[in-house]
A and B are shown apart, each in its own frame.
Chain A
Amino acid sequence: MMFVRSFLLSLFFLVFATPLHAATLAEYTFEDPQKAADFREVIDEMRCLVCQNESLAGSNAELAVDLRNEIFDMMTAGQGKDDVIRFMVARYGDFVLYDPPMKPSTYPLWFGPLVLLIIGALVLIRALRKKSVTQETELSNDEQQRLDTLLKQPSDSKDAKK
């Protein structure tokens, strides 16, 4: 009972937990809710350059704050998501994008997993086929003899346990 209660409680908190960054973003208010959504989306898609595993939305690094402010200013001045992305890529390169564009230098990134999957499937199919084709192999004379003697032995070890 106790366990169920604490489990449900943790579940409740997990479901209703607000993302950590929500509080720091409260200062950015837009009149147009669409703009606000765009802003959230675009800073979620950008990588913070200082702490590279965080998004611009989630990072408290000073540069991330500056960039958020810059993006906020751009968007309140009427620029769209695409303008912001162009602005960021021109300065920091594709590296800032968590969603990398499709181009020759990123083909391995996009198609690598697919290629690996195909290779894996081929190997698996071959292995399975080989297994089903494998014939029962003939025993050599030696082996046949050993088998015979084993079969002839009384299975007393089993009975002894009674």
Chain B
Amino acid sequence: MSRYLRFLVPLAIFAVIATFLFKGLDMNPREIPSPLIGKQVPEFSLPLLEQPDTQITNKDLLGKVYLLNVWATWCVSCRAEHETLVQLGRMNKVDIYGLNWKDERAAAQTWLRQLGNPYAANIFDKKGRTAIDLGVYGAPETFLVDAKGIIHYKHAGPVNPDLIRDKILPMVAELKKKG
């Protein structure tokens, strides 16, 4: 018995370590679980990107399921994900609101004119204070919010068509059903 144990124990230890390391291979250290899941979108009152004189608040967004996409023209990954967002916008399945993060207004407006505008509206967060309240630590980030203003899901990094089809749209459908 102990003769087998001498070989089995190290083998078992090796197997456990190997499993963890293997799993670690495709884990993303930048994906930090957000404590905001299940919580309200924080209060804000910020100007719109398109109309500097018009303020938009968190209350204006109540009553519908929407995606909140944090982006900026200085963010390279945002450019990479933009086409996906434009396509999602064309599907008309969910409203997308943008949080334009620490950006130049003119540059952001040019970006939307040139690359297409999938957003229902863009919140212009010049100082990045609302982004801090949202726990944003990089762009792009995308939040899924229900009609009561509760955050259900957060994706850090660019969204891709697979993620939208397999994860985001099913969640949107479910949240819309609940009302």
Q: Which residues of A contact B (CB under 8 A)?
A: 49-50, 52, 62-63, 66-67, 70, 89-93, 95
Contacts and interface: CB of A to CB of B under 8 A. Distances in A.
A91 B35 contact: yes
A49 B132 contact: no
Interface residues of B, number: 16
A91 B29 contact: no
Given A50-B137, A63-B138, A95-B32, 20 more contacts: A49-B137, A49-B138, A50-B138, A63-B128, A66-B132, A70-B129, A70-B132, A89-B35, A90-B35, A91-B36, A91-B132, A91-B133, A91-B135, A92-B35, A92-B137, A93-B32, A93-B33, A93-B34, A93-B135, A95-B33
28 contacts: A49-B32, A49-B137, A50-B137, A52-B30, A62-B102, A63-B128, A63-B138, A66-B132, A67-B132, A70-B129, A70-B132, A89-B35, A90-B35, A91-B35, A91-B36, A91-B132, A91-B133, A91-B134, A91-B135, A92-B32, A92-B35, A92-B137, A93-B32, A93-B34, A93-B35, A93-B135, A95-B32, A95-B33
Contacts of A92: 32, 35, 135, 137
Contacts of A49: 32, 137-138
Interface string B109-137: 00000000000000000001100111101
A66 B137 CA distance: 11
Interface of B: 29-30, 32-36, 102, 128-129, 132-135, 137-138
B151 to A, nearest CB: 12
A92 B135 CA distance: 5
Contacts of A70: 129, 132
Contacts of B32: 49, 92-93, 95
Contacts of B102: 62
- For A62, A63, A66, A91, the residue with the greatest tally of chain B CB atoms inside 10 Å of its CB is A91
A92 to B, nearest CB: 5
A119 to B, nearest CB: 10
Contact of B29 (A52, A89, A93): A52
A27 B32 CA distance: 30
Nearest to B2: A130
A15 B33 CA distance: 40
A63 B137 contact: yes
A144 to B, nearest CB: 26
